[in-house]
Amino acid sequence: MRDFQCPGRSAVYATNGMCATSHPLAAQVAVDILKQGGNAMDAAIAGAVLLGVAEPQMTGIGGDCFALIAPSSSAEVVAVNGSGRAPAGASARALREAGHSMMPVHSAHAVTIPGAIDAFCTMSDKWGKLGLADSLAPAIHYMEHGVPVAPRVAFDWGPGSAKLQGTACVDFLQGGLCPQIGDLFALPKQAQLLRNIAKDGRDAFYSGEAAEDMLAALNAAGGLHCAEDFANTACSISTPICGLYKGRDLLEHPPNGQGIIAHLMLNILSHFDLPSLDPLGAMRVHIEAEAAKLAYDARNRFLADPDWMPRLDHLLSAQTAASLAALIDPNRALPNAPATSEAVHKDTIYITVVDRDRMAVSLIYSIFHGFGSGIASEKFSVLFQNRGAGFSLTEGHPNELKGGKRPMHTIIPAMLRDHGRVTMPFGVMGGQYQPNGHARFVTNLTDYSMDLQTAVDAPRSFFDNGYLKLERGYGDTVRAELTAKGHDVITPDSPLGGGQAIHIRDNGVLEGASDPRKDGCALGY
């Protein structure tokens, strides 16, 4: 139990249903949908789409989503891939010949076809109860009337806003300035598009005037997108990757997401006696950082669209993890692994919902960089993601840009399953931090027996581009010990991601936790 004389928050407990996400209004809307008779899928879509106006720098209908869905606590979990593909005309060779060694991240060349709307429509049809129109109604209302800008949203608005271009500067700024805490922000153009989608489904987005509006903006910016690219967009449904960590099943979305790297990290960490280490001490940070260096190096070399990915079994192999673990010196930092592409970024939202029938949804939804590509369509103000920035331009790389291909994706939803029963949908935001964040969260729970809210709150560390980032929750002694081991220790400018989780306890009670690094909360009824 936490010290009630110190700053902090309690977990939330309820019995009928619960949502945890990064903005309180989205959590409230999701719970309202549950109270109206909707299920977890109806509620998750409602909250997620609303976050496009509540946190527009993080997500929106011009982006992608991934989801894990457990129709009941004992049912098999389904993975839905709502990530878009590169336009058919995309070519790594053409960009190399134009002088690019990396994807131009704030250009139309980095815009993959938005996949989220197709996924939302598909999930609503297959697993929803109320229907898409009811799920979209709250977002339509708030996009029309506005949402007050929350503190973390205001904090994030400025860094990404410099990349806004053309009509996006009008629609996502106010008189050329970033809105401040408490200012109302609305997206009335998107409200109209959502009305059309509520009436006519995914075709109202991927064809007709909406597709024409989006193509006009992308083609004017030099993009090679065509009407067929939008019309052919379709999510895919598969089975999660399951990995065992000390008796618990961790379910991750398969590639092109990076959930498999969380498995690799945990498999490496299983070779060390983590419970004997101080959970906030230097040695735990060091071992985890070294595991991240090795796991992320493997990610950068192998992870891609699964149709082009030859080494999936290698990344899951116990021998691979054992060989990598043997490289870790407890007393000395490894030389830096190859730097992660600067295209990998941190902006996204996560929402999880569990309903009275214990259907669980773990959903993550993003436009990648802050405000994505910075390009928006004129009529409907669709702000495009720049997920194509996740591609490589290296000839022959599994993740090399190619028309019709999905890029390596950072966003990953997750679930824990104990003794055959789904017990916890969870997610940790933070771009490339996410596999490390999943490993940290699971070890907080499993190796250190932290309660749910403490496991979310606890200070974070991450090896990133040659630096070991330590949040301010770590003291000077830990920093000095890590420096002595050869780490280049810095304090990041912003927190390392966020996170939410819902624990379906053995007695059926729902326990929800939401990260204080964001504005959100867990709410139940």
Euclidean distance between CA atoms 135 and 192, whole angstroms:
15
Place of tokens 């691979």: 320
CA-CA distance, 415 to 48, in Å (whole number)?
18
CA-closest candidate to residue 22, choices 502, 499, 503, 368: 499
Total domains, the chain: 2
89 within some domain:
yes
Whether 77 maps to a domain, the answer reads yes
Amino acid 524 reads: G
- The answer to whether residue 76 is domain-embedded is yes
Q: Please give the pLDDT value at position 452.
A: 97
Decide if 383 contacts 400 (C-beta within 8 A).
Answer: no
Both structure tokens of 243? 């990995």
Helices marked H in 378-494 — which ranges?
A: 434-446, 452-457, 476-484
Let me know if residue 355 belongs to a domain. Answer: yes
Sheet holding 467-470, edge to edge: 461-464, 467-470, 489-490
**Can you tell me whether residue 442 is helix, strand or coil?**
helix
Q: Are residues 422 and 316 in the same domain?
A: yes
Q: Parallel, antiparallel, or unpaired: how do β-strands 510-514 and 12-14 relate? A: antiparallel
Asked if residues 510 and 18 have their Cβ atoms less than 8 Å apart, the reply is yes
Q: Give the rounded distance of the alpha carbon of 105 from its chain centre.
A: 18
Same domain, residue pair 335 and 253: yes
For residues 338 and 352, membership in a common domain is answered with no
pLDDT of amino acid 342:
42
Q: What pLDDT does residue 344 have?
A: 46
pLDDT tens track for 409-428: 999 999 999 999 999 999 99
Note whether 149 and 157 are within 8 A (CB).
yes
Domain co-membership, 116 together with 251: no
Three-class DSSP category at 73: coil
Instruction: Give the residue ranges of the chain where pLDDT is below 50.
Output: 339-345
Residues 377 and 430 in one domain: no
Q: Report CA Rg, the chain.
A: 21
Strand partners, 238: 79
Say how many C-beta atoms besides its own lie within 10 A of residue 3's C-beta: 7
Residue listed under structure tokens 């810095």: 490
Residue 158 carries which side chain, given as an amino acid letter?
G
Answer yes or no: do 103 and 198 share one domain: yes
Domain annotation covers residue 3: no
Question: Which residues 6+ apart lie within 8 Å of 336 measured at CB?
Answer: 293, 466
Q: Which of 192, 195, 196 is nearest to 204 (CA)?
A: 196
Nearest CA to 437 among 515, 356, 327? 515
Tokens 């970033």 belong to which residue?
178
Cβ pair 20, 520 in contact under 8 A: yes
Residue 500, in any domain of the structure: yes
In terms of residues, how long is the chain? Answer: 525
Residue 13 lies in a domain: no
Residue 2's pLDDT is 77
- What contacts 34, CB < 8 A, 6 or more positions away? 16, 17, 19, 40, 42, 43, 353, 355, 356, 525
Looking at the structure, do residues 38 and 119 belong to the same domain, yes or no? Answer: yes
pLDDT of residue 346: 53
Q: Are residues 66 and 156 in the same domain?
A: yes
Alpha-carbon gap, residue 318 to 10, rounded angstroms: 38
**Two structure tokens written together for 83:** 């990530």
Dist. CA 318–CA 323, nearest whole Å: 9
What residue numbers bound the domain in which 104 lies? 19-237+348-390
- Residues 196, 69, single domain; the answer is yes
pLDDT tens digit sequence for 299-336: 999 999 999 987 788 899 999 999 999 999 999 999 87
Which H or E run contains 324? Answer: helix 318-325
CB within 8 Å of 71: residues ≥ 6 apart:
78, 127, 359
Residue 335 and residue 353 in one domain: no
CA distance 187 to 60: 11
Residues 145 and 189 reside in one and the same domain: yes
Residues in contact with 137: Cβ distance below 8 Å, sequence separation at least 6, in sequence order? 46, 198
Q: How far apart are CA 409 and CA 391, in angstroms?
A: 9
Pairing of strands 241-245, 248-252: antiparallel
SS (H, E, C) 233-279: CCCEEECCEEEEECCEEEEECCCCECHHHHHHHHHHHCCCCHHHCCC
Residue at 431 is within a domain: yes
Give residue-wise pLDDT tens across range 451-484: 999 999 999 999 998 999 999 999 999 999 999 9
- List residues bridging with 177 in a β-sheet: 174
Residue 358 shares a structural domain with residue 214: yes
